[in-house]
Structure 1
Amino acid sequence: MNEPVRLAKRLAEMLACSRREAEQYIEGGWVRVDGEVVEEPQFRVLAQKIEVDADASLLAPTAVTLLLHKPAGYEAGLDAPSSRAEGAASLLNVDNHFKMDVSDIRPLKKHFNAHTLATPLATPASGLVVFTQDWRIARKLSEDASVMEHEVIVEVTGDLVSGGLARLNRVEHGFTFNGVLLPPAKVSWQNETRLRFALKGERPGQIAYMCEAVGLSVQSMKRIRVGRVPMSSLPVGQWRYLQPHEKF
């Protein structure tokens, strides 16, 4: 054995299986070379020790959904691309995986490819962003966008006009934004400078517009829930897997 060969070829010889089956084992994260998981069938080997996990399966890896706590300043689909704003998808890597993730899903390189950004968020805002490989989840979040409730914490400054909180809740007069009458929102004070918005069909710029209409200026926004899925204790800049029991 003098020349390096593709890992898939060597594995096919070891297991007496087809080259395609060997590739599936490798891409599924079931193969180690000298103790390190290798997911590239084209990886070259010579005399290294090759091991296959006892639980190895030829089933294709399940499509995953990743929940990211996007930091402010990262672009996530609502703004024109900017050379000053790094894309939020760049944070989806093994190093930023939430250590307390209880999903028991083994991170694979395939999990970070071919995503749909299902819940865009403005660059200045922080909070929960959903990336998914599952077409069913992508379709639900798209089709239900106008009725799915988002919860957003908003830091504000300024003096609230008389009756301003009632107007934010559309007790008497609602808001028309970009020619569209907005549905009622649930707005309450969390403390002297922080408002909690729970609103359906959130539109880009809507919260800032509503706040300005009642004498307040938005300093920061953080989305903490999409539908029935909360961000909970997910740290800034980290991500976790959506669990099977979690539904938007």
Structure 2
Amino acid sequence: MSEPVRLSKRMSELGLCSRREADEWIERGWVRVDGAVVSVLGSKVLPHQKVTVERQASAEQARRVTILVNKPVGYVSGQAEDGYQPAVALVKASTRWTGDRSPNRFQPSQLRSLVPAGRLDIDSVGLLVLTQDGRIAKQLIGEDSTVDKEYLVRVQHLRPGRLPDNSLKLLNHGLSLDGKRLLPAKVRWQNDDQLCFVLREGKKRQIRRMCELVGLKVLGLKRVRIGGVKLGDLPPGQWRYLREDEKF
């Protein structure tokens, strides 16, 4: 027999919303199981039961925005720390990119519950996703995410001569961090001092630590793509909305 699971978890598995959103909707009475409203947090359902949401939930979800920021050095991805400002502080009417083609109008309410879907170190730059949509957050940083991220990484070889071919192979597959084998990556030379990394995971300071293991020092790191969405011409310190025709 199939075991019952928490309703919020089941809603997340079905791609309806994030668990946090599910709890909000359950409390508001916007969730039905086999046609009956369920408004008690922690309620459980069986996998074969039909879960639906009211139109109010779908309408609220449609109003939630996803914002792309070209994060400069010196900003943290999440909450403010050690005196450094969070990247969300860059999101205001005056810093919206003039090339943004989205019909959305900026409103301060869009800053509520706007969270990073994937991090960039304080000394790294490039594409950072801030979203109010739990489905996108799950797609980008969930345990089963298959969305790849592309980085341009300027490096200095700390040993005599060029980086050996065998070390480049190790960067592609064969390294471990924190006692756990890393997933295969795609790493190639972009030019004489810059590597291109494509990863499907995002351990803390992963690229910098990978480079250290093969005798490379990272001088600069820039994320240029997340799945099907590119940084493009978005200037540093500015932002734009994710367009409806763009998919990660």
TM-score (norm 1): 0.69
Q: How far did residue 144 of structure 1 move? A: 5.2
Structure 2 unmatched ranges of 5 or more:
1-58
C-alpha spacing 1:145/1:229, structure 2 compared with 1 (3 Å): farther
Asked if the contact 2:153–2:196 (Cα under 8 Å) also holds between the matched residues in 1, the reply is yes
Asked if the contact 2:139–2:147 (Cα under 8 Å) also holds between the matched residues in 1, the reply is no
Asked if residue 89 in structure 1 is aligned to residue 88 in structure 2, the reply is: yes
| Structure 1 residue ranges, 4+ long, deviating more than 6 angstroms after superposition | none
Asked if residue 200 in structure 1 is aligned to residue 193 in structure 2, the reply is: no
Asked if the contact 1:64–1:133 (Cα under 8 Å) also holds between the matched residues in 2, the reply is yes
- The one-letter code of the counterpart of 1:214 is V
Q: How far did residue 141 of structure 1 move? A: 2.1
Asked if residue 228 in structure 1 is aligned to residue 231 in structure 2, the reply is: no
Write the mapping of 1:160-171 to structure 2, written as runs, cut at 5 A.
Answer: 160-170=163-173
**Counterpart of 1:98 in 2: which secondary structure?**
coil
Asked if the contact 1:150–1:199 (Cα under 8 Å) also holds between the matched residues in 2, the reply is yes
- The one-letter code of the counterpart of 2:68 is L
- The one-letter code of the counterpart of 2:219 is Q
Instruction: For 2:99 and 2:138, locate their aligned partners in 1 and report how far apart those are by CA, in whole Å.
Output: 28
Write the mapping of 1:1-248 to structure 2, written as runs, cut at 5 A.
Answer: 62-77=63-78, 81-83=81-83, 85-143=84-142, 146-158=145-157, 159-170=162-173, 174-248=174-248
Encode CA deviations 1:31-51: one digit per residue, 9 max, x unaligned: xxxxxxxxxxxxxxxxxxxxx
Encode CA deviations 1:223-246: one digit per residue, 9 max, x unaligned: 111122111111000000001121
Asked if the contact 1:161–1:215 (Cα under 8 Å) also holds between the matched residues in 2, the reply is no
Hey, what does 1:5 align to over in structure 2?
none
Instruction: For 2:80 and 2:114, locate their aligned partners in 1 and report how far apart those are by CA, in whole Å.
Output: 19
Q: How far did residue 205 of structure 1 move? A: 2.0
Instruction: For 2:80 and 2:94, locate their aligned partners in 1 and report how far apart those are by CA, in whole Å.
Output: 28
Asked if the contact 2:97–2:234 (Cα under 8 Å) also holds between the matched residues in 1, the reply is yes
Equivalent residues, number: 185
Hey, what does 1:49 align to over in structure 2?
none
Instruction: For 2:229 and 2:144, locate their aligned partners in 1 and report how far apart those are by CA, in whole Å.
Output: 14
- The one-letter code of the counterpart of 1:165 is L
**Counterpart of 1:166 in 2: which secondary structure?**
helix
C-alpha spacing 1:156/1:93, structure 2 compared with 1 (3 Å): same
Q: How far did residue 108 of structure 1 move? A: 1.7
RMSD: 2.0
C-alpha spacing 1:232/1:145, structure 2 compared with 1 (3 Å): farther
Instruction: For 2:74 and 2:110, locate their aligned partners in 1 and report how far apart those are by CA, in whole Å.
Output: 24
Q: How far did residue 146 of structure 1 move? A: 4.8
Instruction: For 1:210 and 1:220, locate their aligned partners in 2 and report how far apart those are by CA, in whole Å.
Output: 14
**Counterpart of 2:63 in 1: which secondary structure?**
coil
Q: How far did residue 114 of structure 1 move? A: 2.2
Residue range with higher mean Cα deviation, 90-99 or 221-230: 221-230
Structure 1 unmatched ranges of 5 or more:
1-58
**Counterpart of 1:163 in 2: which secondary structure?**
helix
TM-score (norm 2): 0.69
Instruction: For 1:146 and 1:134, locate their aligned partners in 2 and report how far apart those are by CA, in whole Å.
Output: 16
Instruction: For 2:88 and 2:244, locate their aligned partners in 1 and report how far apart those are by CA, in whole Å.
Output: 22
